[in-house]
Structure 1
Amino acid sequence: MTTAAILTISDSRQLATDRSGDLIADRLTSHQFTILKRILVKDDLVDIQAAFLQLEQAGPDIIITNGGTGVAQRDTTIPAIRPLLVKVIPGFGEYFRQISLAEIGTRALASQALAGFNYRNQLTYCLPGSPNACQTALDRLIIPEYQHLLFESSNQRKEVHHHAH
């Protein structure tokens, strides 16, 4: 059973009106994920990091953030999360922007959507706040690939551990 945690970053949404967070939770649950925790924070660098670390400590396999991935001054998700990742998976952001380009045109280029692994080797995805973007990322990229990525990363960890002896 795979576990997940969801962090919504928004200055305007509450948990009750968090359509993207609901969509992520529903899509994951329908693929046999268990949602361990959901947090909603304002678009503030320190708040985002504090919430992310709280989710990290809950021990999920996957952490998905949504919101604050654009290039506006108030979009601080990527500067907040990027330093907390040990390894970035460049293909995720590249392919996500490519798919988005087909869906919404050149506006997609402003997306800094990102995936990688944090210090606890949890697979982390930073998605835009729009429900459509979240659905695209989940259906086209996250759900088809997460098992392979988790498998690869757990093997790497064992190898590293093995070589240390």
Structure 2
Amino acid sequence: MSHVHANARFVPLGISVLTVSDTRGFDRDGSGDLLSERLSEAGHVLVDRRIVPDDIYRIRAVVSKWVVRDDVQVILVNGGTGFTVRDTTPEALAPLFDRAIDGYGELFRQLSYDSIGTSTVQSRAVGGVANRTLIFAMPGSPKACATAWEGILESQLDARTRPCNFVAMVMPEQQACASREAVVPDHGQGVHA
């Protein structure tokens, strides 16, 4: 975890949006529209946007192409996180993760409890990091996407959020605070890098 300097500046991130649905096209993709609008309003760049059917391999193929792109630092996936036979987004994404971000799903369910009560246990919202690319999956309703964006993602994708955020993880040129500088050994004596 990197702590944030008090004088940190906003850093626009390249974000791709993937809607997972067997039935929606761009003309009826309210969740994809919402996420695209919110990230742009926040100052980020919408790099790409796609819709794929609820299919593990199609989901994984699109996300795999995005995680190797230098201009994509974040991938937002909506849909396919429930418990029906066709809901396979978590299974598609989990093998790609170098590390899971368990707290994302936990916090999403906590926030959604206020609006949908115990039904939140049926949400399998997941997050992880693959090749220094953040991936966050959320349910496919616009309300759930708004909960994820407003309650978690907007602040965690802002380099000014203190005490810490994810920007330094995906943008290595962003510096952590002085108290987190690495100590590099110099013939037995510590030298700050």
Conserved 8 A contact 2:73-2:170: no
Residue of structure 2 aligned with 1:149, choices 151, 158, 166: 166
Q: Secondary structure at the match of 1:6?
A: strand
In structure 2, C-alpha distance between the alignment counterparts of 1:58 and 1:85, rounded to whole Å? 16
Give 1 or 2: higher helix fraction: 1
Q: Number of paired residues?
A: 159
The equivalent residue for 1:37 is 48
Cα distance, 1:54 vs structure 2: 2.1
Contact (CA 8 Å) 2:113, 2:120: kept in 1 or not? yes
Per the alignment, do residues 8 and 57 of structure 1 end up closer, same or farther by CA in structure 2, a change over 3 Å counting?
Answer: same
Corresponding residue of 1:97: 109
Deviations 1:99-158 (A, max 9, x none): 11111111110111011111x211110011000000011011001112311214556xx9
Counterpart of 1:5 in structure 2 is 16
How far apart in 1 are the matches of 2:23 and 2:118? 25
Q: TM-score, normalised by structure 2?
A: 0.77
Q: Corresponding residue for 1:69?
A: 81
Q: Give the superposition deviation at 1:55.
A: 2.2
Note the aligned Cα RMSD (angstroms): 2.1
Residues 1:85 and 1:111: Cα distance change in structure 2 (over 3 Å): same
Q: Deviations over 1:55-84 (max 9, x none)?
A: 223331110000000111110100000110
Does the CA-based 8 Å contact 1:21-1:66 persist in structure 2?
A: yes
Q: Which residue of 1 aligns with 2:188?
A: none
* Alignment pair present for 1:121 and 2:132: yes
Q: Specify the alignment match of 2:7 in structure 1.
A: none
Q: Is the 8 A contact 1:123 1:150 kept in 2?
A: no
Measure the CA separation in 2 of the matches of 1:77 and 1:26: 23
Q: Which runs of 5+ in 2 are unaligned?
A: 1-11, 160-164, 176-180, 186-193
Give the number of the structure whose alpha-carbon radius of gyration is greater.
2
TM-score normalized by the length of structure 1: 0.89
